[in-house]
Amino acid sequence: MHEEKQLKSMKGRITDFLYYLYRIVIIIFAISLFIPSFNPARICGMVNGNMSLFTSGVSYSALTQSITRAVNRGWVQESTFVLLFISSLLSCLGIFSAVAAGCMSLGSFKLRRLGHYIVLIGTFVGYLGLGGALIAYNQVSKTSNTDWVQPMFPNGVYIIGAMFTIVLVLTIVLLYLIPKPNKNEVYSLEAKYKLFLILMPFIALTFVFSYLPLWGWRYAFFDYKAGGTLSWENFVGFKWFTILFQNKATRNDIVKVMQNTLAMSALGLSTSWCAMAFAIFLCEIKNMRIRRFIQTCTTIPNFISWVLVYSFACTIFATDGLISNLIVRNGGTAVNFLMNGDHIWLKMLAWGMWKGIGWSAIVYIAGISGIDQQLYEAATVDGAGRFQKMWHVTVPGLLPTFFVLFLMGVAGILSNGLDQYLVFENPNNTQDIKVLDLYVYKLGIDQGNIPISTVIGMVKSLVSVTLLFIANKLSKIIRGNTII
């Protein structure tokens, strides 16, 4: 009896370990969907080398954007790429089935077994997809113009196929190890796992759009030109990091750019209280129609692109704008106020506040609604007027929210954004309006100096993270609370 219990306990530990391994493999499997080098659809040079399996399986236009000429000349058949697209989609479905099974493995035995059956079907579908990619490669390799088509064996087939195999083997072993569910058992999942799975899509999106792009930092260590490739032949190590300080022209540019960036960020931080003040005064308006009207009018600009904002500015401040027309009618000379570079920092601050103050106030409006109404009643009993209640009740109630947003702003002091400064830039103000994000954009896109722009972007990210932790530490020392 004792030996039987030990055997069951050992079997349970092995099962738990295999489930941990199973979930880790599935997470890696899910990540492989977005790694271009793992893409089994890369069967020729006409398929974008930066395209992932996920993109290949959901966007036929992205997969076939470069094949028009080859199809028209008869070098490849369009049906080959239709097959490749369907194969990529099947491979994606196979991976999705594994991800679904990984989520279901957190539930009851009945739910786990259902997940394993889904994986068995999904793995078969995935193998069909990989087989289709190989058939498509075989068709492309028979092209009459190899120099243009550039057939290449999809090594991603081996990688994705190996992952399908590992998941399949683990699924079969786990099906054997887990006990058969009782007839009365239901498909169930604990509440904590339900909440975790609800959060998972947002974690995945954050990973894909915030962390996966960090893979592009590798360009900082290569002598890369647009359209080229990365190899040990153009690996230069920390060359571009040292050029930032060795080249006098580059050093002067960065000093000027940092001056503009820090100045505009400082102006933004020094006026960050305006959103809180606006929210407080807005909530003091007793007429709900007027309050809603003002809030709507001040929030809408946040959803207008900076291109449209600049168009609006042109209708007012350009040479043929409203103000210039009024000046001309009164005997003056037309003036293009947008071309004037004087006080450009304050102008950018004003445009930014006009566009964002209504949106920023929403957080404070929500905070005001959460303040205990008994505090206002007690202040009224003590004889406090409206402004005294605002100063002694509302403001202290919003200060924790203000400090969190302020410290987050300190952490992002090097991130002014790009769109606003890009549309308002002109030859008269470019020296004073060029912030770090705009400078990186011009280096990478206009001048094609991708390595240096990547280096500056890396440094900016590292400095921002450092400032965030410093701000968090200061918040702990000063306020006794942290923001992360």
Q: What pLDDT is stored for residue 7 in this prediction?
A: 47
Q: Are 140 and 227 in contact (CB under 8 A)?
A: no
Q: Count Cα neighbours of 65 within 13 Å in the Cβ-side half-sphere.
A: 9
Give pairs for 228-236: CB < 8 Å, separation 24+: 236/451
pTM of the full predicted structure?
0.68
Q: What pLDDT is stored for residue 10 in this prediction?
A: 65
φ/ψ region of 316 (left if φ > 0, alpha if ψ in -120 to 50, else beta) reads: alpha
Domains and CATH numbers, the chain: 2-189 (no CATH), 233-478 (1.10.3720.10)
Q: Are 181 and 113 in contact (CB under 8 A)?
A: yes
Q: Are 43 and 136 in contact (CB under 8 A)?
A: yes
pLDDT in tens, 240-281: 888 777 777 777 888 888 888 889 988 998 998 999 999 999
Two tokens at 138? 């075989």
Q: Are 192 and 73 in contact (CB under 8 A)?
A: no
* End-to-end C-alpha distance for the chain, whole angstroms: 52
Q: Give the whole-angstrom CA distance, residue 446 versus residue 258.
A: 20
Going by C-beta distance under 8 Å and a sequence separation of 6 or more, which residues neighbour residue 174?
15, 18, 19, 22, 112, 116
Q: Give the whole-angstrom CA distance, residue 166 versus residue 174.
A: 12
Name the residue among 253, 207, 244, 293 with its Cα closest to residue 431: 253
Q: Give the whole-angstrom CA distance, residue 205 versus residue 392.
A: 42
Residue at token pair 């890009």? 422
Q: Give the whole-angstrom CA distance, residue 141 versus residue 150.
A: 8
User: Which residues does the chain have with pLDDT short of 50?
Assistant: 1-2, 7
Count Cβ atoms within 10 A of the Cβ of residue 108 and give its class: 0-12 exposed, 13-18 middle, 19 or more buried. Answer: middle
Q: What pLDDT is stored for residue 8 in this prediction?
A: 56
Q: What pLDDT is stored for residue 72 in this prediction?
A: 87
Q: What pLDDT is stored for residue 11 in this prediction?
A: 66
